[in-house]
Structures are given as structure tokens and as C-alpha cells.
Amino acid sequence: MLSKTDKEIYQQIRNELKRQQTVLEMIPSENFTSPAVLEALGSVLTNKYSEGYPKKRYYGGNEFIDNIEQLAIDRAKKLFGVEHVNVQPYSGSPANFAVYMAVCKPGDTIMGMNLTDGGHLTHGWKTSASAIFFNSVPYHVNQDGYIDFDELRQLAKKHKPKLIWCGATAYTREIPFEKFAEIADEVDAYLVADIAHIAGLIVGGVHKSPVPFVHIITTTTHKTLRGPRGAMIMVTKKGVEKDPELPAKIDKAVFPGLQGGPHDNAIAGIAVALHEASLPSFKEYAKQIVNNCKALAEQLKENGLKLVTGGTDNHMVLIDLTPFGPGKGLFAQEALDLAGITVNKNTIPNDPSPFYPSGLRCGTPALTTRGMKEEQMKEIADMITEVINEIKHYEMPTSKEERDFAIKKFREEIKSNKKIKEIRQKVLDLCKKFPLYEKM
């Protein structure tokens, strides 16, 4: 149908499908949904408008939408073991802002991990609404890359935050929720766990759960949970005990506070993904993600590369390129992209060049979805190392004019690099052994 209606869009979708099929997708926040989730996303549910909540809609004709949303809610409550779930947030950032709206007033003090240390924009970074409307006091990691809980406790006692975030976007170790809880309880702060990256690992039993320790949980649904792009906000038993009205405050913040009608097709996709995550096979999948990441990390270290914290407990590794000089993340990302290995440049703790970062963030969720295991991770680590060796002599100047020239020269030269072309062929051969979406 689309191929006849809009050939241009159809062709770009086919191009993207081919790209996904023929590259090694290693951005930790990306994954491949099941065909069943894709089917729900592309369904007639996108035609319905459903302002409100199940049995409390502002439009008629929502009896089946009510059933779908209630299924998603019930499945999430059972899977995570929480008291209340809202499945309507459009994405992770709106979900996090809904939490602020539910429990904070403009100007209240909030705390989250500093962005360049591995935190998320919405946890109080200076250019985010979370710091524009609230008084943000960030905490940091130690020199070894682990969270500095001594600093966190001192800052919390001094500033008495209304809300503390635990969770990150570039942190490779298990998050000790119990340590956060001790500090949050001392200062009577709301403790919110943003588990966007690790939700699938938690339900898969390979990362500890925040449920006994925090008041509120937010998560996206498209990373390790392997669902559609969307988000959920959950309230725990501890949260209800702190504030019996907290579930109602969360719901009111989402709608009508920040959103209108929910994306019913995405909610259906979330329900499907939650069902898939409840199956025994998902536990094996989650376990394999971590095993793969550990194998990747060990081989990268064996090859002489430096990793932030020296390794990983979860689904991602953070490569520190500063031994080769500052600001090489862009060179490495673009060279790896040409080789068919998709990663993202990323800041590392105490990064000397935050605008041109010195790190690479790599993950294993999507590779694991394709069926790859430890043997392939070692092979991929070797390919990553070979590419980094091809770019490590490029320097990132500090002045804009010199930097622009250096980047332009790099891009011209790297296109004809023989080693990268050889690795691109290796990637294609590996992808053929682990096919993706064959029938599409």
C-alpha cells in the first residue's frame, strides 16, 4: 500500500530496514522490537482519541481502548511488583517532568547525577527544563567512575532536596538503590528511580529492583524492555505510604497536566512487550545481554582499551579514549559508522572536552536480540579496537577554525581507509549469520 501511495517515504523506510539488517547496532538505548509489537504500533488504534483514563474518558467509543490500557497497567503492576502504573507518557522526558509536576513546586531543590558523569538531561542538567524551573544540585562520580555517595550525602544534608533521582544514561555499574534510600530517607526527600536503561534487566532478574527502596519509578519502554517508544510511571508501596495521594497526583500530572490524548497504538505495543517480558525466554535474554556485555568489556580490555570503572555490570560499556588524546569520540564514532558498527560518542567523567567528548558508549541489547553471544562479542571487540587504532593519531584542535578543518580532513581521509572497508565486509558477513526481520 505505502509503496504505491508514497514511494519516497516507502523507499526511506526500506533503506532504514536494510541499514538495521546490515549493521551492528550497539547504541545501548536502542533495540529491535518483535514483529508483534510492530503490528500493534501500526494498527487502527492510532485512529482513536482517548483523553482521560480507563472508564473515565472525555470521548465515546473507548470500550476496547480501555481494555488495552488496563491490560498494560495490570501487566506492568504484576511484572514490576508496584502499586500503581501510568502507561500514558509519550516518552521518558515527559514522564520525568510529570514526576516533578506531581511532587514539586517551581524553585524546589532537586538532585540528580551530573550529565557529564553519566546522568540524564532531565535529572537537572543546566540546559534542561528540570534546572530552569527547579534548583538543581548535581552529584558526581569518584575518580574511579563509581557514584560518590559521601558527596551525595553531604549535598543532601546541606540542601534538603524535595526530590532525588537515582538512575543514569551512561553508568556501567549496578545501581545501589538501598544507598540512595538511606540518604533520601534522612532528608525526607522523594526518591525516584529512572530505570529507562535497565528495566528489562530488572524484570529479567539480572539487576536488583528499586521497588523496595524508592517512592516512584520512571522508565522508557524501548531499551532493554524491548518495546515501543513510550514510557511508564510507577508508584511503589513505599511511595503510597509516604503519600497516599501520590498515584492520583501522578495521573493528574500526566493528564491533564502535561498531555492530551494518549498514543493508544503505543500503549498496545507496551502491553505486548510486557507480556513478552513475562515469559521465561525473556529472563534468558536479559541474562545473555549482561553476559555479552561482560565478554565485550573483557576483550576490549584485553586489547588494551581503557574502560570507565574498568568494566560493566549491565548492558553497556563506556570506552575512555583519553589515552590517545582528548576529544576523539567523534572520530571513533564516525569511523565505526563507516565500518557498520553503530555506537555513540559520549562524555566520560571529568571529560576535558564536553562538546567534543572523549568517550564511546557501546551496548549489547540489540546484538543479543539478534541471537549473538559471547563468541561474537569478542569478534566485535576486536573490530572496534582495529577501527580505533585507525583513528587514534587524529588530533582534535581546541580552536574552532582548526577543529573544523581537522574534522573535514578526517572525514575525507577515513572514507578511503582500507582497514575500515575490510571490517565493513566482516560486519556484513556477521549480520548475515544473525538475520533480522527477514520477512519484511
What is the rounded distance in angstroms from the CA atom of residue 22 to the CA atom of residue 36? Answer: 22
Q: How many CB atoms lie within 10 A of CB 425?
A: 11
- 194 tagged catalytic: yes
Q: What per-residue confidence (pLDDT) applies to 278?
A: 98
Average pLDDT, the chain: 97
What is the rounded distance in angstroms from the CA atom of residue 252 to the CA atom of residue 241? Answer: 19
* Residue 305 CA: distances (Å) to CA of 302, 317, 394: 7, 11, 17
CB 346 within 8 A of CB 410: no
- 361 tagged catalytic: no
- 49 tagged catalytic: yes
- 51 tagged catalytic: yes
pLDDT one-digit tens code per residue, 46-102: 999 999 999 999 999 999 999 999 999 999 999 999 999 999 999 999 999 999 999
Reported as a pLDDT band with limits 50, 70 and 90, residue 354 is confident
Q: In the chain, what are the domains? A: 38-277 (3.40.640.10), 281-433 (3.90.1150.10)
Name residue, grid cell 573483557: 298
Q: Which of 49, 53, 90, 146 is catalytic?
A: 49
Given a cut of 80, is residue 353 above it in pLDDT?
A: no
Q: Which of 77, 153, 179, 229 is catalytic?
A: 229
Given a cut of 90, is residue 25 above it in pLDDT?
A: yes
What's the rounded mean pLDDT across residues 181-194? Answer: 98
Q: Which of 25, 69, 117, 194 is catalytic?
A: 194
Q: What per-residue confidence (pLDDT) applies to 439?
A: 84
CA angle 321/323/326 to nearest 5° reads 60
Full DSSP string of 217-245 = EEEESSSTT---S-EEEEE-HHHHHH-TT
- 298 tagged catalytic: no
List beta partners, residue 56: 53
Q: What per-residue confidence (pLDDT) applies to 396?
A: 92
Helix (H/G/I), strand (E/B), else coil: 314: coil
Grid cell locating 34: 518483535
Burial label, 257 (beta-carbon count in 10 A; 0-12, 13-18, 19+):
middle
